[in-house]
Structure 1
Amino acid sequence: MLTAIGLVELNSIAKGIEAADAMLKSAQVEILTSRPICPGKYIVLISGDVAAVESAVRAGVNLGEAAVVDEFILPNVHPAVIPAISATTPAVDMQALGIIETFSIASLIVAADTAVKAAEVDLIEIRLGTGIGGKSFVTLTGDVAAVKAAVEAGSASAAEKGLLLNKVVIPSPHRNLVPSIM
């Protein structure tokens, strides 16, 4: 059972691969994704029990040193986060649309987890850094009040680190926009 996830984001691909190896060797964790992202960064996203994820992230950060851009440990990740990262979220009824955009992958995943825990919303997708200059964004839907609350809560966590780029709530997205979001 997935209990925790952790991520280390580095500005060096070589150091990122080395950090991934150190993370796997330091604790009993599974890699959810380990790959280069734009612009020449590398992410390592792992899962496991809380203590193992903490140990592995610490190992990755220690090895990565100055190459570490951002990192996190989410001990009780919301069940909707992993499907949204892997773009396997089941189709949802589009209501209001919320978007949070950040400068780092780590800050965005934490923002998405915070948002979905703050209000009754459905995550649509968590887009991580590839093909968008290393930025990330999450799209979510629900009734207008819930989307506003979720976007505010999620964007606050990224803003605390100075990594919030933008946040938007569209109360009633045009029906022709919906297919490009889903």
Structure 2
Amino acid sequence: MEYRSVAIGMKAADSMLKAADIRMMMMQAVCPGKYLVMFTGKLSSVEAAVKVGRIAPFDEVLVDSYLLGNPDQSLFAAIYGTCDKENLAAIGILEGYAVASMVGVADEIVKTSPVRLIELRLARGMTGKSYAIFAGEIAAVEASMKKAESILVEEGLFLHSAVIPSPDPVLWEML
């Protein structure tokens, strides 16, 4: 859940915790004064919490939300910066306006494409934008970027993307 108010976002998180048996993974303020709430639990509990997080007064400041059923485990390593960054043939970078949709798109891409997610940056220090970096063979990365772009364009949240074939070793080291 992504809110454009820190105060209301915290209140929404508290209400969700009180309404459903969920476990918080992240509750934090991010640029530009938005509040992210990520949680896990049984599907029925998560659905109940999302429902609470979308009602008044929370709906008035809700930027985006995304419910993932059975999220790919690589998402968590990419969010926390613990992915193996083994040098592969190409990388694709996807940049969008919202956090929740970027997490959803990243999950869909790694579940349906032969690419790996190596980083998922969620709004911190980026004026609310987010990006995902995928790695793999060039054709797979290019196809994945096209698919991801089309999803974000449809939602009105796409910003930019790039594919870098054979990234320089210094770039790999700095990722």
TM-score (norm 1): 0.91
Q: Percent identity?
A: 37
1:69 to partner: Cα distance: 0.5
Matched position secondary structure for 1:42: strand
Map 1:2-151 → 2, pairs under 5 A: 8-63=1-56, 64-151=58-145
1:92 to partner: Cα distance: 2.3
1:76 to partner: Cα distance: 2.2
**What's the CA shift string for 1:67-87, capped at 9, x where partnerless?**
000001011211211111111
List gaps (5 residues or longer) in structure 2: none
**What's the CA shift string for 1:29-86, capped at 9, x where partnerless?**
1111000000000010011111111110111111412100000101121121111111
Distance 1:87 1:65 in 2: 31
Given that residues 88 and 137 in structure 2 are in contact (C-alpha distance below 8 angstroms), is that contact kept between their aligned partners in structure 1? no
Distance 1:110 1:156 in 2: 13
TM-score (norm 2): 0.95
Distance 1:90 1:54 in 2: 32
Matched position secondary structure for 1:110: helix
Matched position secondary structure for 2:78: helix
1:158 to partner: Cα distance: 1.5
List gaps (5 residues or longer) in structure 1: 1-7
Computed over aligned residues only, the root mean square deviation of the Cα atoms, in angstroms, reads 1.2
**What's the CA shift string for 1:97-149, capped at 9, x where partnerless?**
10110001011101111211221111111001011111000011000111112
Matched position secondary structure for 2:7: helix
1:155 aligns with 2:145: no
1:172 aligns with 2:166: yes
Change (3 A) 1:72 1:135: same
Q: Which moved more, 1:152-161 or 1:42-51?
A: 152-161
Q: How many residues matched?
A: 174
Distance 2:149 2:18 in 1: 34
1:150 to partner: Cα distance: 1.7
